[in-house]
Structure 1
Amino acid sequence: MSDTQTSPLSPTGTERKLPFALQNDEDLLIVVRRHWLYFTLRMLGVAGAGVLGTVLGIVLVAKTFGFDGNPGRIAVGVIALWALYWLVRGYFTWYRYENDLWAVTNQRIVDSIRRHWFHHRMSSADLVDVEDINVVRHGILPTMFNFGDVRCQTAGEVPNFVLSGIPKPTEVLASIDAARDASRRSLRGAF
């Protein structure tokens, strides 16, 4: 299966539980997560900061006063706290990647994000309220690996939806545009 999922299935083929319930007569069109490279680059930054700081701390302490005595024990504690901080930060970077998704149905766009265990933000905009859609791609890597941002300007309470760092943004834009047009046609047909 591609990075842009066309069914409520995860890449492993198991059913993905959506963080929201579908409304009556609502069909899921696509579920989109951030591109794997977007996540990998962030994790490399976190891992690099954690490893580099830990190694520099160990080398600095070893070359100055050593690990013996109270200063050494304090230094070990500080270095351990540094490493633990970056491990936890790495975990929550992964957690956010796993729990940050956008869904497009035949009625709305849903943005669901969980930054940590005690935070969940979900926004929804009706497709008929989507006024303008554009794709933004900055840099060499997003161009080479085909990921970027899809920005949807809406007339609803949430003025802008930004699907950032997603794979195949032009295909996602086309899907949203087609769903929006179909939603508007069905709304006109209801009157």
Structure 2
Amino acid sequence: MMHLEQLPNQRTNERMVLFIRRHWIAPFQIFGIFIILLLLPVAIGYLFYDNFVIWMQQDVFGPLISLIVIMYFLCVWLFSFIEFTDYYLDTWIVTTERIINIEQKGLFNRTASELQLEAVQDVTSDVEGVFRTIFDYGDVIIQTAGELKHFHFKEIPHPEDIKERIIHIVDQDREQKELQGIRTTPKPRLVKTKTPE
């Protein structure tokens, strides 16, 4: 787990309030696709078993089919590894002063964005579908006044609770800055949570 000492540009008196990863159920979609892709050549081999045995005994087609099957399984494994890496390395951190969005995009591309709490305008939670409602996970979207128009926390657990906590943290930050005489943007609006009907 990441510790506050590892945060970029840590400020004095800044402390981590929330460390969020995607919900544990999210990789099951990846796992389901992985299983289907693994079983596909097995099913094809079973359907064409007689022809497959004849082809594998030939000098040219046997090694060629073996090579194609091996390459297929390597591609499936690579696809699954990239998707799982993307799932595991996506993190969102809320501190007493800012929100940090770290998103992995593929194996060699990572984007880290930072948002000051005073730039938060709206916070929305979105839970769509029966599956997400049952397992209580969804998205939280933070509208900003900065260059980046929104921060999107994808497939996180308890999105409604996290939305409320973020709004509370932003309100505390604004009150503290008002006491210090620092000008801030208006309070974030509570936006109704989307839930399936």
So what's the TM-score if we normalise by structure 1? 0.84
Letter matched to residue 46 of structure 1: F
In structure 1, C-alpha distance between the alignment counterparts of 2:67 and 2:47, rounded to whole Å: 14
Q: Residues 116-143 of structure 1: CA distance to partner in whole angstroms, max 9, x if unpaired?
A: 4421110111111110011111111100
1:79-103 deviation per Cα after TM superposition (whole angstroms, max 9, x unaligned):
1111111111112222222211101
Which residue identity is paired with 2:61? P
Relative to 1, partners in 2 of residues 1:128 and 1:103: Cα closer, same or farther, differing over 3 Å?
Answer: same
**Is 1:37 the counterpart of 2:54 in the alignment?**
no
Q: 2:86 aligns with which of 74, 79, 96?
A: 96
Equivalences for residues 1-191 of structure 1 within 5 A: 10=1, 16-17=2-3, 20-21=7-8, 22-49=10-37, 51-59=38-46, 62-64=49-51, 65-69=54-58, 70-191=60-181
Could you say which structure has the larger radius of gyration? 2
C-alpha distance in 2, partners of 1:96/1:60? 35
Q: SS of 1:36's equivalent?
A: coil
- Kindly provide the CA deviation profile for residues 146-180 of structure 1, in whole angstroms up to 9, marking residues without a partner as x: 00000110001110111010000011101100111
Which segments of 5 or more consecutive residues in structure 2 lack a partner in the other structure? Answer: 182-197
Q: Is the 8 A contact 1:46 1:86 kept in 2?
A: yes
Let me know the Cα RMSD of the aligned residues.
1.8
Q: 1:112 to 1:162 in 2, by over 3 A?
A: same
Letter paired with 1:58: G
- 1:17 shift after superposition: 4.3
Distance 1:23 1:56 in 2: 57
Could you say what secondary structure the match of 1:157 adopts? coil
List per-residue Cα deviations over 1:20-66 (Å, max 9, x = no partner): 333222110011111011122222212322x1233144336644352
What fraction of aligned residue pairs are identical, expressed as a percent? 23
SS at match of 1:37: coil
Counterpart CA distance in 1 for 2:97 and 2:13 is 9
Structure 1 counterpart of 2:148, one-letter code: V
Query: How many residues in Structure 1 have an aligned counterpart in Structure 2?
Result: 176
Q: What letter is aligned with 1:137? A: V
Structure 1: runs of 5+ lacking an equivalent: 1-9, 11-15
| Partner SS state of residue 23, structure 1 | coil
